[in-house]
């Protein structure tokens, strides 16, 4: 049955398997008629009982025949109108709450006041003809009106509460029994989650209790469910009560608080769930009951990026924008972000056919108003790159194409030079020749004091475009950041696959640390940095605190419902060629200059002499054709003196071990 003020779920909300099934179509067709009929029966019953109470529960012909029908007629008409005005014929009664009951009180009081005023002004003191026509009503006891006020409220509130009680208490248990459930957070969100679980038409969870660190809530009951203890007590509580799932009902919790819950339960085989964010709940996009699995992004994610959207829109709107590497993790997200600012034309440049096909199809579906062109192009093909720039004349270039896997590039060093150095040079030269306004290169923390071919190739690419900026009309800038969570071939997807296969999870070294950032955050900060660039800057993004890879592995195993070291084995391997234990990416220090954005700084350096740089790059490119690792290392050290790689040269026949967690790429 409907209630007064329930809002329908918005069309863009994610479908929730815990929601109630829709009522039969036939019932919905006559829904409003049934609601009005239920109210009319309630009005008639309330008035009838009121007359009985006013007459000492005695049936008398005077009120039963002369007073009740006439008073019911005009009071019923008034009540139907007033209750309609207070929207009492809408919504679902199964969701009735305090606000709905208050609306019933208001409608009952207002309708009773109108009835009494009408009775007093017209029946008692109206024209003689009216008084004679309704002589019986003039003798109605005033107690009838007061009793009817309370009776109306009690009956209508009772109908709603009975409907809700039915859905919350009379349910069928799914085959296989109930999941034993603990809710972490005994606040408003936890209480709301408990109520919504109780409203499920098919009960799925048996809520054992609440967990909360607030000492004032200990040993209290919420809807009959006890607060069992604090987070520190979770392992024992889960063991004593055979808990299968934990719901973290703290949408405003920090990532450190979420990690603490996971780490405390590291040895337990438990599934972790969480509720939507406060923003999503407040916007109406999600309900509290739309719980989902806790993801590693929840534990490693960072605070929302504050962007100057007006400046970015001015930068990108109505421009022709080219994104190289558009099928990759960063490139594809850059395309999604740019489409929000309505570019004139978005060019997707990618050598891999399938990723290009999928990102083009996604963008055309999600942004039908944006003009999009997909161009299959290998950036090492200078003629193809030149032809693309000649045809489309892009005003902004986002250069995200690169080879990024550190161990793989150590074993294919010539290809790293071709793609990361030659490819960047081709795209940058074409942008300068055709006078693009802005060129933004995506770089990496591995270019800082590089120890790998990949990192040093990106450093050389940085040096080239920084030098090119000195004589070009195009503004060339570089943006550096570390690993991004969930990118293709990166550590998180590898760990997840290893866990799904039953292990082992391979970690390079127990002390290895990496900086992590979410793909959307990285892409947004790249756009923000691009608007700041005057040309020649190397922007460095604030990556926060580095994370131990071994801790990341343990948390992913725990989130998957397994015990690290018991259900899923962890194996440590030796660092591979080119890998560091610690990456260097700080926005603090004498060589860093702050910008107006707190998460973006500029690295100050002294550019190399142009003739020396370009001659060195030409020589390096020639060496790369022969894939001579020793000579490539020698030449890189001349161009990048801080490069310390090449100490462990390749062993013939050695294959890259790309299934250990470390530098699988950004």
Question: What CATH number did the domain enclosing 192 receive?
Answer: 3.40.50.720
Q: Is residue 267 part of a domain?
A: yes
Q: Is residue 508 part of a domain?
A: yes
Same domain, 500 and 388: yes
- Does the pLDDT at position 169 exceed 70? no
Q: How many domains does the chain have?
A: 3
**Residue finishing a domain among 294, 322, 337:** 294
Q: Is residue 444 part of a domain?
A: yes
| Closest of 259, 237, 401, 262 to residue 332, by C-alpha | 401
Same domain, 121 and 193: no
Query: What's the pLDDT score for residue 580?
Result: 58
Going 482 to 483 to 488 to 489, the CA torsion angle's sign is positive
Same domain, 615 and 577: yes
Q: Is residue 377 part of a domain?
A: yes
Which residue in 404, 446, 513, 635 is the catalytic one?
Answer: 446
Query: What's the pLDDT score for residue 650?
Result: 45
Q: Is residue 300 part of a domain?
A: no
Tell me what the pLDDT averaged over the chain comes to.
78
Residues 517/543, Cβ–Cβ less than 8 Å: yes
Same domain, 514 and 398: yes
Confidence of residue 634 (pLDDT cuts 50, 70, 90): very high
- Does the pLDDT at position 422 exceed 90? yes
DSSP 8-state class, residue 661: B
Query: What's the pLDDT score for residue 15?
Result: 42
Residue-wise pLDDT for 188-236, tens only, equals 778 877 777 766 655 577 788 888 888 888 888 887 788 888 888 888 8
Query: What's the pLDDT score for residue 297?
Result: 65
Confidence of residue 7 (pLDDT cuts 50, 70, 90): very low
Question: 230: domain range?
Answer: 172-294
Same domain, 518 and 635: yes
Query: What's the pLDDT score for residue 167?
Result: 62
Query: Which region holds residue 627: left if phi is over 0, alpha if psi is between -120 and 50, else beta?
Result: left
Least confident window among 16-20, 245-249, 498-502: 16-20
The b-or-e profile of 608-632 (16+ CB within 10 A means b, else e) is beeeebeebbeebbebbeeeebebb
CA separation for the pair 155, 160 (Å, rounded): 9
Q: Helix crossing, 68-85 with 31-54: angle to 10°?
A: 130
What average pLDDT score do residues 568-573 get? 80
Same domain, 128 and 181: no
Same domain, 268 and 335: no
Same domain, 137 and 184: no
CA separation for the pair 647, 405 (Å, rounded): 19
Residue-wise pLDDT for 574-627, tens only, equals 666 555 565 655 545 556 777 777 777 888 777 788 889 999 999 999 998 888
Least confident window among 266-280, 515-529, 620-634: 266-280
pTM summary value: 0.61
Same domain, 281 and 318: no
What average pLDDT score do residues 566-581 get? 70
Least confident window among 23-32, 536-545, 631-640: 23-32
Q: Is residue 653 part of a domain?
A: no
Active site annotation includes 446: yes
Same domain, 246 and 384: no
CA separation for the pair 189, 425 (Å, rounded): 54
What is the separation of C-alpha 58 from the centre of its chain, rounded to a whole number of angstroms? Answer: 65
Residue 435 — φ and ψ, nearest 5°?
A: 55, 50
User: What SS3 string covers 304-337?
Assistant: CCCCCHHHHHHHHCCCEEEEECCCCHHHHHHHHH
Q: How distant, in Å, are the alpha carbons of 65, 196, 279, 408, 596 from that of 412?
A: 101, 56, 46, 6, 40
What average pLDDT score do residues 139-153 get? 83
Which has more confidence, 288 or 611? 611
DSSP 8-state class, residue 138: G
């Amino acid at each position: 049955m409907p209630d007064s003020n329930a809002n329908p779920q918005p069309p863009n909300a994610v479908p929730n398997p815990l929601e109630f099934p829709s009522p039969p179509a036939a019932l919905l067709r006559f829904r409003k008629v049934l609601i009005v009929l239920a109210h009319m029966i309630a009005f008639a019953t309330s008035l009838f009982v009121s007359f009985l109470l006013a007459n000492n529960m005695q049936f008398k012909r005077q009120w039963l025949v002369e007073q009740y029908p006439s008073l019911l007629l005009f009071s019923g008409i008034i009540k139907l109108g007033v209750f309609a005005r207070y929207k009492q014929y809408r919504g679902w009664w199964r969701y009735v709450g305090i606000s709905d009951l208050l609306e019933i009180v208001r409608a009952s009081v207002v309708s009773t006041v109108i009835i009494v005023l009408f009775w007093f002004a017209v029946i008692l003191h109206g024209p003689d003809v009216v008084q004679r026509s309704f002589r019986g009503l003039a003798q109605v006891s005033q107690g009838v009106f007061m009793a009817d006020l309370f009776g109306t409220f009690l009956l209508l509130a009772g109908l709603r509460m009975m409907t809700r009680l039915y859905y919350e208490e009379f349910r069928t248990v799914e085959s296989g029994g109930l999941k034993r459930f603990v809710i972490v957070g005994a606040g408003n969100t936890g209480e709301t989650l408990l109520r919504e679980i109780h409203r499920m038409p098919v009960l799925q969870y048996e809520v054992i209790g609440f967990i909360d660190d607030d000492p004032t809530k200990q040993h209290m009951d919420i809807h009959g469910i006890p607060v069992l203890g604090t987070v520190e007590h979770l392992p024992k509580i889960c063991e004593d009560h055979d808990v299968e799932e934990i719901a973290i009902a703290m949408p405003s919790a920090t990532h450190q608080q979420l990690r603490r819950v996971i780490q405390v339960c590291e040895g337990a085989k438990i599934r972790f769930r969480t509720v939507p964010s406060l923003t999503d709940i407040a916007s109406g996009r999600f309900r509290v009951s739309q719980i989902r699995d806790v993801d590693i992004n929840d534990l490693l994610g960072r605070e929302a990026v504050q962007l100057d959207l007006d400046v970015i829109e001015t930068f990108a709107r109505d421009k022709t924008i080219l994104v190289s590497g558009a099928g990759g993790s960063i490139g594809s997200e850059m395309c999604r972000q740019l489409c929000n600012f309505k570019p004139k034309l978005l060019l997707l440049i990618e050598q891999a056919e399938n990723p290009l096909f999928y990102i083009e199809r996604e963008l055309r579906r999600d942004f039908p108003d944006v003009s999009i062109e997909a161009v299959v192009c290998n950036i090492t093909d200078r003629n193809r790159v030149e032809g693309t720039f000649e045809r489309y004349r892009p005003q902004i270039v986002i250069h995200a194409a690169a080879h990024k896997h550190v161990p793989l590039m150590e074993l294919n060093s010539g290809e790293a030079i071709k793609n990361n150095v030659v490819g960047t040079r081709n795209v940058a030269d074409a942008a300068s020749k055709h006078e693009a306004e802005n060129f933004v290169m995506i770089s990496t923390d591995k270019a800082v004091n590089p120890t790998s071919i990949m990192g040093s190739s990106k450093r050389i690419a940085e040096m080239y475009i920084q030098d090119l900026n000195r004589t070009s009309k195009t503004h060339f800038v570089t943006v550096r950041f570390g690993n991004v969570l969930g990118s293709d071939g990166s550590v998180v997807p590898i760990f997840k696959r290893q866990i799904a296969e039953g292990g082992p999870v391979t970690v390079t070294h127990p002390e290895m640390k990496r900086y992590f950032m979410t793909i959307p955050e990285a892409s947004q900060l790249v756009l923000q940095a691009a608007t700041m660039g005057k040309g020649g800057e190397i922007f460095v993004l604030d990556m926060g605190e580095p994370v131990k890879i071994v801790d990341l592995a343990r948390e992913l195993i725990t989130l998957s419902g397994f015990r690290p070291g018991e259900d899923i084995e962890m194996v440590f391997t030796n660092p591979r060629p080119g890998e560091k234990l610690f990456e260097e990416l700080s926005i603090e220090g004498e060589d860093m200059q702050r910008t107006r954005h707190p998460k973006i700084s500029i690295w100050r350096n002294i550019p190399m002499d142009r003739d020396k740089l370009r001659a060195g790059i030409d020589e390096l490119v020639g060496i790369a054709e022969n894939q001579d690792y020793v000579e490539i290392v020698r030449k890189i050290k001349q161009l990048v003196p801080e490069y310390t790689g090449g100490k462990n040269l390749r062993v013939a026949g050695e294959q890259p071990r790309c299934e250990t967690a470390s530098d699988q790429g950004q």
